[in-house]
Amino acid sequence: MTPGQRDSAILDRMQKLFDKAATRDYTPLGSDLAKDLECLFATKAWSFREIILVITLARLLDRNYSASTAFYDCNPRAVYEGPIRTVLRDRGIPHTKSGPLNIAKAQEGINKGWAARRRPRDAALAAVQLVEAIEAMSPNDLENFAVVLHEKFLDRAEAVKALKC
**What confidence tens digit (pLDDT) does each residue in 31-66 have?**
999 999 999 999 999 999 999 999 999 999 999 999
Nearest Cα residue to 56 out of 118, 144, 125: 144
C-alpha span between 165 and 163 (Å, rounded): 6
Q: How confident is the model at residue 152 (pLDDT cuts 50, 70, 90)?
A: very high
Residue 159 has pLDDT above 70, yes or no: no
pLDDT per residue over 9-30, tens digit each?
Answer: 999 999 999 999 999 999 999 9
pTM of the entire predicted model: 0.95
Rounded to 5°, angle at Cα 133 from 25 and 97: 75
At residue 100, the pLDDT reads: 85
pLDDT per residue over 92-130, tens digit each?
Answer: 998 888 878 888 887 889 999 999 999 999 999 999 999
Per DSSP, the residues of 133-152 read HHHH--HHHHHHHHHHHHHH
Nearest Cα residue to 52 out of 128, 122, 139: 128
On average, the pLDDT of the chain sits at: 93
Taking the C-alpha atoms of 43, 81, 104 and 33 in order, what is their torsion angle to the nearest 10 degrees? 50
Nearest Cα residue to 69 out of 83, 59, 81: 59
The residue extents of the domains of the chain are 3-164
Task: Give yes or no for a cis peptide into 120 (omega within 30° of 0).
Answer: yes
